[in-house]
């Protein structure tokens, strides 16, 4: 059938009339993005406070009686679940995905604005259900964010009644919300790109979010399936996951279920999930690096292929979380191999980031500092991942603080650093104001050095063999007293870092009020979102004319160009083109602009 390219047909936009439809029931992707973002950050802060609470227990046992064993496990569980799902996934995809995709692909909005709005409100619902579990009798579940059966629903586990049910329901609702948003992002990227914007002209941010969304669409169902079957087990007495077990001396009437089956389902979601938070971070950081180094991202094609490769591989490594789970140990060979193979594409991304700095013209603005900090912590976290991936090394280290240190370095620090890099980088576009530089710098140093001070020593607790998910260490014959000093210093560092986050929030509010105007393109960036007629972009983004794209996203420091960047929507005629692969301006005959 005759088909009109979507970008050209005047998409009918739902035009807001009252304040309510503008900021509350809004269908504008930018407003929705900010709603998503602030909700995510709000729960993120709750999770942060929880972590500080149980850190107090670990750092100063006996001295604080605000947390008893059951509330310790509840705090740890909620902390983990909120941070991974309700903060990172929501902020990276719901927040940045929503804000950047339409702008970066030169569309007026997501293709399904209504569905998009729905997605946010359903997400909010899931958050409310989650928080509700803090107030039911028995409190939230304390089964660990992995929710392994049969423990989740047995008397020995905090929140084994209402708590776990609410947790499962909340996850289900979240998945519905994510699917609604996800379909939107994918379709928008595929169908709504403006004229001239080929897939390989997309900024890496879009690539990262795009692939991560696809991962999410196909990984979350595993969690949904697991959650449904577990709910059946708990409420309707089926035995999908529940084997014959004894509870306080009485045999329960379950039989034959397989707890391992749950673990397979959980990690079939769980491992892709960690890349769902990693890939968008990879994308965002690439754009920040390239912009502030005034240099094209090095090896763009390799970066795209690596994102796709990592996405694909991440579906066949899940059982590296189950080396010591009692599953058939022969799986170990396969999964150890696939797991370490992932290191190669990831390594290439790391190299290319560093090589982007090479021979660049680096501006150490705050976003850049965070981005470089990310490379450092991510390398550290990734390499410790190789220890755990190498199956035999996982034998002594599994379920110790080494694992905790690994995944915090790689997921609790790195993506957070990227998020801050991105927030500072795009804040001028979102608000039209520039952030307060001094405060931001302090925030960077405290967060970067502070988190490293938290997690580097934590690896050594792991080497010692300190187990994770321990309310108190008690006395053992192999852990020296000095381990407690480590724990104390970790807690102190965590308190400092936690407090330092206030700087960020103060900065935001201060800048919104007193920040000086940023102009439409303060960083001199090439990508479309910086080329909008007004800043912050208004509803519909582009005024009367949709933009057209004439070049890739990284024309920085093009030899002979008028400036050291050429926006994507600058026609080829008005700027020179380079044919040489490697062009060194220092021996450049035509120094047009210097």
Partner 1 sequence: MNFYKDVTDKSWERKGLLEDLASEPAFAAPPQKVALVFFLGVATVIFSLFTVSYFIRMELPDWTPLAEPGLLWINTALLVLSSVLFQWSRSAIRNRQEKLVKLTVIGGGLFALAFIAGQLAAWRELSESGMFLAGNPANSFFYLLTGIHAIHLLGGLWVWSKSSLRLLSGGTSEEIRLSVELSTLYWHFLLLLWV
Partner 2 sequence: MALAVVLLLLIVGSVIFHFASPWWFTPIAAEWQSIDFTINVTFWVTGLVFIAVNAFMAYCVWKFRQKEGHKAVYEPENSRLEAGLSIVTTLGVVAMLAPGLFVWATFVTVPEEATDYEVVGQQWQWSFRYPGADGILGTADTVFVSENNPLGVNPEDPNSQDDVIVNGPEMRLPVNQPVRALLRSKDVLHNYTVPQFRVKMDLVPGLVSYQWFTPNLVGEYDILCEELCGIAHFIMRGRVIVEEQADYDAWLARQPTFAETQSMAEPNVAAGEQQYAACASCHGQQGEGNEALNAPRLAGLQDWYVARQLRYYQQGVRGGEGDPMGQMMAPMAAMLSTDEAIANVSAYIGGMELERSPATLEGGNIDNGRRIYQSNCAACHLPDASGTWYTDAPNLAGMSDWYFERQINNFRSGVRGLHPQDDYGEQMVSMATAVANVQEIADVAAYIHTLAE
Residue ranges that bind partner 1, judged by CB under 8 A:
3, 5-8, 111-112, 179, 182-184, 186-188, 190-201, 217-218, 221-222, 224-225, 228-229, 232, 236-240, 255-258, 261, 264-265, 268, 296, 300-301, 304-305, 308, 548-552, 554-555, 572, 575, 577, 579
Please check whether residue 400 is in contact with residue 461, taking contact to mean a CB–CB distance below 8 angstroms. yes
Residue 190 binds which of Cu ion, partner 2, partner 1, none (CB < 5-8 A, kind-dependent): partner 1
Q: CA 190, CA 194: separation in Å to the nearest integer? A: 11
The helix (run of H) or strand (run of E) holding residue 533 is none
Question: Which DSSP letter does residue 246 get?
Answer: E
Give 118 or 404: the residue with its C-beta nearer to ligand HEA: 404
Ranges within 179-238 binding partner 2 (CB under 8 A): none
Instruction: Give the list of residues 6+ apart from residue 438 with CB closer than 8 angstroms, or none.
Output: none
Tokens of 245: 């077990």
Between 185 and 407, CB nearer to Cu ion = 407
- Asked whether position 416 contacts ligand HEA by CB under 6 A, the answer is yes
By the rule CB under 5 A, 271 interacts with Cu ion: yes
Q: And the tokens for 522?
A: 């303060």
Nearer to ligand HEA, 106 or 332 (CB): 332
Phi, psi of 433 (to 5 degrees): -110, 155
Q: Quote the CA–CA distance of 322 and 151 in Å, as a whole number.
A: 17
- Contacting ligand HEA (CB under 6 A), which of 192, 306, 403, 405? 403
Q: Per CB under 6 A, which of residues 125..144 are in contact with ligand HEA?
A: 144
CB of 381 to ligand HEA, least distance (A): 7
Q: How far is the CB of 479 from partner 2 (least distance, A)?
A: 8
Residue 156 φ then ψ, to 5°: -70, -5
128 interacts with, out of Cu ion, partner 2, ligand HEA, none, CB within 5 to 8 A per kind: none
CA distance 506 to 435: 10
> Given candidates 393, 446, 492, 512, which one binds partner 2 under the rule CB under 8 A?
393
Tokens for 239, please give them. Answer: 């035995």
Let me know if 400 is exposed, middle or buried by CB neighbors in 10 A (0-12, 13-18, 19+): buried
Is 432 or 560 the residue whose CB approaches partner 1 more closely? 560
Tokens of 146: 């992995």
Beta pairing partners, 565: 556
In whole angstroms, give the CA distance from residue 357 to residue 295.
8
> Based on CB atoms, which residue is closest to ligand HEA, 131 or 416?
416
Q: Which of 98, 196, 277, 292 is nearest to 572 (CA)?
A: 196
Cα 405 from Cα 458, distance rounded (Å) = 6
395 near partner 2, rule: CB under 8 A = yes
User: Can you tell me which of 30, 264, 295, 408 binds ligand HEA, judged by CB under 6 A?
Assistant: 408
348 binds partner 2 (CB under 8 A): yes
> Restricting to residues 5-34, which ones interact with partner 2 according to CB under 8 A?
none
* Cβ nearer to partner 1, comparing 8 with 534: 8
User: Of residues 303-342, which lie at the interface with partner 2 (CB under 8 A)?
Assistant: 324-326, 329-330, 332-333, 336-337, 340-341
Nearer to partner 2, 20 or 578 (CB): 578
User: Which single residue brings its beta carbon nearest to ligand HEA?
Assistant: 382
With beta carbons less than 8 A apart as the criterion, state whether 99 and 29 touch: yes
- In the list 27, 35, 39, 55, the residue contacting ligand HEA (rule: CB under 6 A) is 55
- The residue among 536, 375, 349, 366 whose CA lies nearest residue 443 is 366
Least distance from C-beta 326 to partner 2, angstroms?
4
How far apart are alpha carbons 241 and 233 in whole angstroms? 7
Which of 406, 397, 404, 234 lies closest to 324, judged by CA? 397
Per CB under 5 A, the segment of 136-144, 159-167, 265-273, 389-397 that binds Cu ion is 265-273
Q: Mark residues 39-58: x for contact with partner 2 by CB under 8 A, - for none.
A: --------------------
Q: Which stretch binds Cu ion (CB under 5 A): 11-19, 36-44, 271-279, 578-586?
A: 271-279
218/541 Cα distance (integer angstroms):
31
389 binds, among partner 1, ligand HEA, Cu ion, none (CB under 5 to 8 A by kind): ligand HEA
By the rule CB under 6 A, 407 interacts with ligand HEA: yes
Residue 112 contacts residue 179 (beta carbons within 8 Å): no
Q: How many CB atoms lie within 10 A of CB 252?
A: 17
Among 128, 472, 499, 506, binds partner 2 (CB under 8 A): 472
For the chain, give the longest Cα–Cα distance. Answer: 87
Tokens, residue 445: 């140093």
Residue whose CB is less far from partner 2, 221 or 299:
299
| Cβ-based burial of 90 (10 A; exposed 0-12, middle 13-18, buried ≥19) | buried
Question: Which residues are CB-neighbours of 67 under 8 A, at least 6 positions away?
Answer: 53, 54, 56, 57, 75
- In the range 363-392, which residues lie near partner 2 by CB under 8 A? 363-364, 369, 372, 375-376, 379-380, 383-384, 386-387, 390-392
Omega before 536 cis (within 30°)? yes
Indicate the residue among 399 and 575 with the shorter CB distance to partner 1: 575
Among 132, 316, 386, 449, binds ligand HEA (CB under 6 A): 386
Q: Which residue is nearest to Cu ion (CB)?
A: 271
**Footprint of ligand HEA (CB under 6 A):** 41, 44-45, 47-48, 51, 55, 58, 76-77, 79-80, 83-84, 87-88, 144-146, 274, 277-278, 320-321, 339, 342-343, 346-347, 350, 379, 382-383, 385-386, 388-389, 394, 398, 403-404, 406-408, 410-413, 416, 419-420, 451, 454, 468-470, 494, 497-498, 501
**Footprint of Cu ion (CB under 5 A):** 271
């Amino acid at each position: 059938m005759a088909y009109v390219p979507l970008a050209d047909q005047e998409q009918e936009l739902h035009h807001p009339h009252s304040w309510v439809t503008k900021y509350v029931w809004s269908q504008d992707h930018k407003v929705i993005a900010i709603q998503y973002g602030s909700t995510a950050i709000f729960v993120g802060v709750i999770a942060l406070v929880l972590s500080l609470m149980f850190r107090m227990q670990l750092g100063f046992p006996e001295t604080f009686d605000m947390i008893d064993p059951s509330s310790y496990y509840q705090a740890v569980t909620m902390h983990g679940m909120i941070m991974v799902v309700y903060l990172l996934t929501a902020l990276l995809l719901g927040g940045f995905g929503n804000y950047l995709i339409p702008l970066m692909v030169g569309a007026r909005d997501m293709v399904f604005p209504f569905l998009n709005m729905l997605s946010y409100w359903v997400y909010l619902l899931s958050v409310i259900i989650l928080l509700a579990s803090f107030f039911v009798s028995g409190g939230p579940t304390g089964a660990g964010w992995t929710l392994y059966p049969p423990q989740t629903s047995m008397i020995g586990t905090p929140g084994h009644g209402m708590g776990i049910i609410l947790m499962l329901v909340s996850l289900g609702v979240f998945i519905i919300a994510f699917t609604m948003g996800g379909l939107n992002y994918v379709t928008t990227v595929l169908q709504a790109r403006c004229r001239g914007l080929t897939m390989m002209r997309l900024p890496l941010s879009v690539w990262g979010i795009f692939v991560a969304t696809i991962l999410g669409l196909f990984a979350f169902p595993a969690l949904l399936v697991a959650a449904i079957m577990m709910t059946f087990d708990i409420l309707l007495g089926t035995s999908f996951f529940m084997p014959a077990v004894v509870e306080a001396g009485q045999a329960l009437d379950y039989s034959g279920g397989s707890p391992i089956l749950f673990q397979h389902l959980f990690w079939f979601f769980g491992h892709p999930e960690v890349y769902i938070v990693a890939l968008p971070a990879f994308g965002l950081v690439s754009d920040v690096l390239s912009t502030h180094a005034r240099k094209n991202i090095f090896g763009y094609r390799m970066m795209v292929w690596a994102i796709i490769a990592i996405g694909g591989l991440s579906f066949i490594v899940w059982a590296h979380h189950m080396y010591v789970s009692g599953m058939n140990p022969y799986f170990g060979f396969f999964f150890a191999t696939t797991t370490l193979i992932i290191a190669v594409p990831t390594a290439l991304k790391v190299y290319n980031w560093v090589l982007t700095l090479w021979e660049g013209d680096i501006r150490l603005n705050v976003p850049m500092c965070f981005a470089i900090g990310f490379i450092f912590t991510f390398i550290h976290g990734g390499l410790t991942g190789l220890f755990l991936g190498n199956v035999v090394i996982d034998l002594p280290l599994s379920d110790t603080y080494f694992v905790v240190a690994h995944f915090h370095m790689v997921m609790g620090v790195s993506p957070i650093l990227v998020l801050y890099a991105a927030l500072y980088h795009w804040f001028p576009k979102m608000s039209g104001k520039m952030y307060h530089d001094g405060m931001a710098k302090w925030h960077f140093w405290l967060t970067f050095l502070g988190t490293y001070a938290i997690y580097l020593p934590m690896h050594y607790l792991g080497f010692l063999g300190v187990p994770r998910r321990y309310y108190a260490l008690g006395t053992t014959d192999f852990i020296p007293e000095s381990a407690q000093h480590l724990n104390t210093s970790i807690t102190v560092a965590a308190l400092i870092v936690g407090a330092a986050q206030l700087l960020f929030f103060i900065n935001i509010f201060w800048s919104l009020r007193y920040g000086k105007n940023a102009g439409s393109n303060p960083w001199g960036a090439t990508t479309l979102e910086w080329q909008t007629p007004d800043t912050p972009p208004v509803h519909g983004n582009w005024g009367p004319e949709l933009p057209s794209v004439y070049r890739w996203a990284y024309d920085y420091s093009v030899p002979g160009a008028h400036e050291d960047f050429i926006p994507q929507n600058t026609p080829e005629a008005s700027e020179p083109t380079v044919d040489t692969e490697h062009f060194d301006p220092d021996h450049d005959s035509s120094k047009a602009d210097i």
